[in-house]
Amino acid sequence: AQSVTQPDIHITVSEGASLELRCNYSYGATPYLFWYVQSPGQGLQLLLKYFSGDTLVQGIKGFEAEFKRSQSSFNLRKPSVHWSDAAEYFCAVGRSSASKIIFGSGTRLSIRP
């Protein structure tokens, strides 16, 4: 069965430090992969997505993610975090002719001043 795992429930990083959020997926074919961000009290916003081609994808707000097929991973990175990046981040995988999607359980990011 398809699944998405975000092993880190909560991460705290200092403002200006680099960030990496982990995501592992289980899927039988080439997946559609996404990262969404949810700010407190808000809906979700798409940060970036991967379907094919270059395995390093750039997104909004200075985020990037790298698809590694051999590790079934799609980790999210940012070289220098800002206090406004504090939010919950969800990795997701798309399946079944692009009509269904599975989300991970989320990683909450806190920023230390």
Helix (H, G, I), strand (E, B) or coil at 56: strand
**Residues 65, 74 contacting (CB under 8 angstroms):** yes
In the complex, what is the shortest distance from the CB of residue 16 to other proteins, in angstroms, rounded to a whole number?
Answer: 29
Residue 31 sits in the site that holds other proteins (CB under 8 A): no
Considering beta carbons, is residue 70 or 97 the nearer one to other proteins? Answer: 97
Instruction: State the residue for tokens 């990011």.
Output: 109
Residues touching other proteins, count (CB under 8 A): 25
Dist CA 5 CA 16 (whole Å): 27
Of 32, 66, 72, 77, the one binding other proteins by CB under 8 A: 32
Binding mask 68-107 for other proteins (x = CB under 8 A): ----------------------x-x-x--xxxxxxxxxx-
CA atoms within 13 A on the CB side of 72: 12
Residues 11, 109: contact at Cβ < 8 Å?
A: yes
C-alpha atoms less than 13 angstroms from C-alpha of 54 in its C-beta half-sphere: 6
List the one residue from 3, 12, 30, 42 that touches other proteins (CB under 8 A).
42
Interacting residue ranges for other proteins, rule: CB under 8 A: 4, 6, 9, 32, 34, 42-46, 49, 51, 90, 92, 94, 97-106
